[in-house]
Amino acid sequence: MRFAVDAHAIGRHLTGNEVYVRSLLNGFAALDNSSEFLAYLSSAEASAWVPARFAKQLVSANPFKRLGWDLPASLRRDRADLLHVQYTAPLACPVPVVVSVHDVSFLEHPEYFPSARALQLRLTVRRTVNFATRILTGSEFSRDSIMRAYRLSGDNIVVVPNAAAPGFRPVSHEGAAAFVASRYRIPVPYILTVGDLQPRKNHIGLITAFAKLVKAYPQLKHRLLLAGKDTWYGARVRAAARESGVSGRIHFTGFVADDDLLQLYNAADLFVFPSFYEGFGLPILEAMACGRAVACSNTSAMPEVADGAAILFDPASADSMARAMADLLLDAELRARMEVLGAQRAAQFSWRKTAERTLEVYCEVAENGSRRGAMRAAAVALG
DSSP 292: -
Judgement on whether residues 183 and 122 belong to the same structural domain of the protein: no
Residue type present at position 5: V
Rounded (10°) angle between helices 332-346 and 282-289:
110
8 A C-beta contact, residue 273 and residue 302: yes
pLDDT of residue 12: 77
Best CA proximity match to 181, nearest among 247, 246, 260: 260
8 A C-beta contact, residue 54 and residue 37: yes
Judgement on whether residues 329 and 361 belong to the same structural domain of the protein: no
Residues facing 374 on adjacent strands: none
Total domain count for the chain? Answer: 2
Best CA proximity match to 273, nearest among 239, 250, 241, 305: 305
pLDDT of residue 11: 87
Average pLDDT of 232-240?
97
8 A C-beta contact, residue 88 and residue 74: no
Judgement on whether residues 92 and 210 belong to the same structural domain of the protein: no
pTM of the shown model: 0.92
Provide the percentage of residues in the chain whose pLDDT is more than 90: 90
Domain of 319 in residue numbering reads as: 173-346
DSSP 62: S
CATH of the domain at 153: 3.40.50.2000
Residue 181, pLDDT > 70, answer yes
Does residue 168 form part of some domain? no
Q: Out of 8-17, 84-93, 299-308, 334-343, which region has the weakest mean confidence (pLDDT)?
A: 8-17
Best CA proximity match to 273, nearest among 250, 247, 292, 259: 292
3 state DSSP class of 100: strand
Q: Give the tens place of pLDDT for each residue, 103-120.
A: 999 999 999 999 999 999
pLDDT of residue 180: 98
Judgement on whether residues 253 and 285 belong to the same structural domain of the protein: yes
CA distance 158 to 379: 32
Judgement on whether residues 208 and 157 belong to the same structural domain of the protein: no
Residue type present at position 79: R
8 A C-beta contact, residue 322 and residue 216: yes
pLDDT of residue 192: 98
Rounded (10°) angle between helices 332-346 and 318-330:
100
Average pLDDT of 160-167?
94
